[in-house]
Structure 1
Amino acid sequence: MDFVWLLLAVMAFAYAFLLQRKQDEVAEKLARQLCKQQQLQFLECARDGHQFARLDHRFRWFTRYKVDFSSDGESRYQGELRLSGLRYLSFQLPPHRI
């Protein structure tokens, strides 16, 4: 019986790992699209952390991504992209030079 629990734990860990990788891919693709819409040069996207917070009177699990971009080709700025699962929630950009 212990082997079954160990197998289930390993499978749950593998599923969570693969789901996180898929979310990272979706975040990068979305960040590229959002930068293109804003006419910004996409530089990189990295996971910043997770957060359990309340939204619309419901608790949700969020993942934050830091998105580096450039508006003039010389300077580097950092925005924040938030996803809940594979769903887009928000993209916040700091003030930047146009």
Structure 2
Amino acid sequence: MTLGELVLFFLLILTGIQFWRIRSISEQAYEQIGHYCKTHQLQLLSVARQRTRLSFKYGKIDWLSTFAFEFSGNGEDRYTGHVDMIGKRMIRTNLPPYKI
């Protein structure tokens, strides 16, 4: 095995590990957004990851992800909120004004 093959092998392993890490972050975001909506008596309609990039904030290198989620306050209207996460930790939630 040459050095080039070894580097390629480690890059493939690292890519796979990061793929599973981002999947895990998405699943955690879905759970946390669901809990947030339940706490505030909102109906969660959908969750989608909009953007993911590496961040050097908050003392360590981790993924900064932005999620958009649709919710309803009264069961008739649909609103879009946004959540920012560093790794598996929710750092910011932004919701528009909505009808109850």
Structure 1-normalised TM-score? Answer: 0.88
Task: Considering fraction of residues, name the structure with more strand.
Answer: 1
| Matches of 1:62 and 1:48, distance apart in 2 | 11
**Runs of 4+ residues over 4 Å off in structure 1:** 51-56, 58-61
2:45 to 43, 46, 56: 43
| Matches of 2:15 and 2:57, distance apart in 1 | 27
1:24 to 26, 33, 52: 26
RMSD: 2.3
| Equivalent runs, 1:1-98 vs 2, <5 Å | 1=2, 2-50=4-52, 61-98=63-100
Tell me the CA shift for residue 59 of structure 1. Answer: 8.7
| 1:34-73 per-position Cα deviation (integer Å, ceiling 9, x unaligned) | 00011000111100113567867x9975210001101111
**Among the aligned pairs, what percent are the same residue?**
28
Partner AA of 1:83 in structure 2: M
Unpaired runs of at least 5, structure 2: none
Q: Any conservation in 1 of the 2:68–2:81 contact (CA below 8 Å)?
A: yes
Structure 2-normalised TM-score? Answer: 0.86
| Matches of 2:31 and 2:80, distance apart in 1 | 16
Unpaired runs of at least 5, structure 1: none
